[in-house]
Amino acid sequence: MLKSHFGLIGLGVMGENLVLNAERNGFSSAVYNRTCSKTEEFLRGRGQGKNIQGATDLQDFVGKLERPRRILIMVKAGAAVDAVIDQLSLFLEKGDLLIDGGNSDYQDTESRVKRLEGKNLGFIGMGVSGGARGALEGPSMMPGGTKASYLAVESLLTRMAAQVEDGPCVTYIGPGGSGHLVKTVHNGIEYGIEQILAEAYDLMKRIKGMKGDQIADILAQWNSTEELSSYLVEITEVCLRTKDSLDGADLVEKIMDKAGQKGTGLWTVVTALQLGAAVPTIYAALNSRVMSSMKSQRIAAESSLKGPAVKDCDLGSSSDAMSPLMDAVVLSCVASYAQGMELLRIASSSLDYSLHMPSIAQIWKGGCIIRSRLLKRIQDAFNTDPQPVNLMMDSWFVYQVNQRLPGLMKVVAGAAEAGVPVPCFSSTLDYINSYRTGRLPQNLVQAMRDCFGSHTYQRLDKDGSFHTEWLS
Ligand code: 3PG
């Protein structure tokens, strides 16, 4: 049998769909899965009649690939990736290339690139977004590693990726773990937008008494606007319209209100804190998942900790697409993207990744979970100024903030008076208010630090470092 162009290890749903995608795009493939029955099942099922051959063990798999070998690993992030690399390395030869397409920690990827490049093997850490369907039809892909490694798989990746008006949704991200870092931050933004839409739903449900279909109608209106047209708004509308087959009621109301997470949102926040980037909207989304998991405590507290009764406030009406609420959603989404991009900008300079911000916005415009029309504006903003201090300072975004801030303020104040939590909306409001305040009260924090710890302070009126004996 002819040797295959491309190899895949790990026939989970993402792996299966990615190999079918590669094969559809003209790349004959070999597949290996630790449990052989899974490989046989795939070849008898979805892989049947395709230019895909199965392998029984890793040596057999490696022998079925043309050189230099190009192997995509789709196994659970962490120890499993190292185990596969170690076993596979025994059979690889100089110039062969491995791609880790899972959600790996960028620091793990950083050390894997160094380790394998030291053995003359290429290694790419590649973020893949788009879910199962995206993997099959065209995902957004974020590959990082050496440029030479990327060039060895460029034609494969550009054919597999989603396509938008200005090209495929894949580009060389940068060295080391940069591809996985960009995917991690992508997911942090995703956490933000999911929580923002959940807060909007909660306000419409609890304050306005709206049902799933009525809320879905508002989302449909939002999805037709430049500011909010996006995949996540689109699927949220679908979720809200879906009925329980048992009784025809809104299915979302039957779902346990505890949100899980696989780690990338946490890594986004930890990385941001380590690098000194402010990501309050994304952090609020992460913390909301943490608090959601405290279900039994929340139920117990409901009867003891008395807040205000839920009361009406101005969220707008269906005839104006819930205008103030839409303002809150738009600005919070803008803040999520701005914070994620700012984190990438800081990471790029601290870690020497030379990230090209317009290209990152470009490859997120299609295929991935956070794809949206707003990304075109973000791409334009970074094309105008590749290193803006903050996305919100681009003229289009300045206009959005100035137009929509009163609506966001109204929603946060109304939610506070009604006792409904809106962590992303309120964090966004504080983020914008802090960012647009020339003088913050941290002068007093500095005074306290100097008072108890002689940490010194700077003055506004003269240069230098000062200390005062405050307690003498
Ligand atoms: C993924 O990459 O699997 C999801 O986009 C994010 O997953 P999570 O919400 O389970 O962390």
Domain regions of the chain by residue span: 6-176, 183-435, 442-472
Atom of ligand 1 nearest to the CA of 263: 11
The answer to whether 6-176 and 183-435 have equal CATH topology is no
Instruction: Give tens-digit pLDDT for 3-46.
Output: 999 999 999 999 999 999 999 999 999 999 999 999 999 999 99
Residue 387 predicted with pLDDT over 90: no
User: Measuring from atom 9 of ligand 1, which residue has the nearest CA?
Assistant: 261
Distance, CA 262 to ligand 1 centroid (Å)? 6
Atom of ligand 1 nearest to the CA of 265: 11
Distance, CA 78 to ligand 1 centroid (Å)? 15
pLDDT of residue 389: 82
183 belongs to the catalytic site: yes
User: Choosing from 16, 110, 190, 237, which is the catalytic residue?
Assistant: 190
**CATH T-level assignment (fold) for domain 442-472:** 1.20.5
User: Ligand 1: which residues within 6 Å by Cβ?
Assistant: 103, 187, 190, 260-262, 264-265, 369
Distance, CA 261 to ligand 1 centroid (Å)? 6
H or E element, residue 417: helix 395-418
Residue 195 predicted with pLDDT over 90: yes
Strand partners, 100: 73, 125
Among 312, 284, 334, smallest CA distance to 204 is for 312
190 belongs to the catalytic site: yes
Distances in Å between the Cα of 98 and the Cα atoms of 87, 169, 243, 443 are 13, 20, 44, 52
Give the mean pLDDT of 381-387.
Answer: 89
Separation CA 52–CA 386 (nearest Å): 43
The residue written with tokens 């003498």 in the block is: 472
Q: What's the pLDDT band for 407 if we cut at 50, 70, 90?
A: very high
CATH of domain 183-435: 1.10.1040.10
Which of 187, 269, 288, 290 for a ligand 1 pocket mutation test, highest count of atoms within 8 Å of Cβ?
Answer: 187
Residue 339 predicted with pLDDT over 80: yes
Give the mean pLDDT of 180-198.
Answer: 98
pLDDT of residue 386: 75
Q: What's the pLDDT band for 472 if we cut at 50, 70, 90?
A: confident
The residue written with tokens 């990338």 in the block is: 264
Instruction: Give tens-digit pLDDT for 341-351.
Output: 999 999 999 99
Instruction: Give tens-digit pLDDT for 442-460.
Output: 999 999 999 999 999 999 9
Q: Give me the helix-helix angle, 264-275 and 178-206, nearest 10°.
A: 110
**CATH superfamily to which 6-176 belongs:** NAD(P)-binding Rossmann-like Domain (3.40.50.720)
